Structure 1
Amino acid sequence: MDYPLASSDYPLLSAFMTMLYFFLWIMWFVLLFRVIGDIFRDDRMNGWGKAGWTLFVCVLPFLGVFVYLIARGRGMGERDRRQMQQQEQAFRSYVREAASETPAPERTSADELAKLAGLHDHGDITDTEYAQAKAKILASH
């Protein structure tokens, strides 16, 4: 049986080169989308600036991306950090808001006595400490 694409027809080095080209192609698209995303994320750039950079990056992609990285590369990290901080603040405020809406379960004397008994059974507190704490719980409720 004769196979059309045998291992001798496609040497190992050619396979590695094909994988290298494929990964470089993927990295190029990631870089291109990151630059385009940064163009639209920048709040300080006006609409004409965004349109100009987008046109430059789309018409001459290699030159446009490299010029953008040289001219505005430092600000990309600052904009990413600022956006991450805003997202973290929004998440923290959401968690605080959600936590304040759910009431905390009230501890009853039975819960406190059960916890106290667990500490006593485990040997964390002595008999006299257990008796004093039990009397305090029963007196407060």
Structure 2
Amino acid sequence: MIIDLFWFALVSFYFIAYFFVMAMIIVDLFRDHELSGWWKALWIIFLIFVPFLTALVYVIARGSGMAKRAQTHGGGRVPEQDDYQPKASASPSEDIARAKALLDSGAISQGEFDALKSKALGNKYFG
């Protein structure tokens, strides 16, 4: 009973890992702009009829290119997010002073000032 569960878990793990390798190969094939359509079709046909051997050959022959194409693609990151760095102040007193200046100029209300003040103090003691 316990050995059957072990074998089931092991076979399931290998099947899922194999599925992910196949998916990565297919994604990499469509991501590669240097490979012609006929070569892509040939790789797909071999993946269908001789899947394990084809996956092994593909990863060995084109593995370094897979890493470069994945890095070039960026994994779905938005370039604008790379440059975004929220302004971190040195101390809560600087945040409170900025909020007080905004309050004095009339840009924010007393309630907004109180919220900014509690946030600055909360970040200091609870963050």
Q: Residue 107 of structure 2 is aligned with which of 95, 107, 111? A: 111
**Counterpart selection for 1:41 from 28, 31, 35:** 31
1:69 is aligned to 59
Q: Counterparts of 1:38 and 1:85 in 2: how far apart (Å)?
A: 12
TM-score using structure 2 length? 0.62
Equivalent in the alignment of 1:15: 5
Unaligned runs of 5+ in 2: 85-101, 118-127
Larger Rg: 1
Aligned equivalents of 1:81, 1:110: Cα separation in 2 = 48
Q: TM-score, normalised by structure 1?
A: 0.56
Q: Residues 126-141 of structure 1 correspond to what in structure 2 (within 5 A)?
A: none
Identical aligned pairs, as a percentage?
Answer: 31
The alignment's C-alpha RMSD in Å is 3.0
Q: What displacement does 1:87 show?
A: 3.9
Higher relative contact order (CA 8 A, sep 6+): 2
How far, CA to CA, are the matches of 1:43 and 1:82 in structure 2?
Answer: 12
Cα distance in 2, alignment partners of residues 42 and 87 from structure 1 = 19
Structure 1 residues 87 and 45: alpha-carbon distance in aligned structure 2, compared to 1, 3 A threshold: farther
Aligned length: 94
Distance (Å, rounded) in 1 between the aligned partners of 2:77 and 2:35: 21
TM superposition shift of 1:85: 6.9
Structure 1 residues 86, 17: CA separation in 2 closer, same or farther (over 3 Å shift)?
A: closer
Q: Give the superposition deviation at 1:49.
A: 1.2
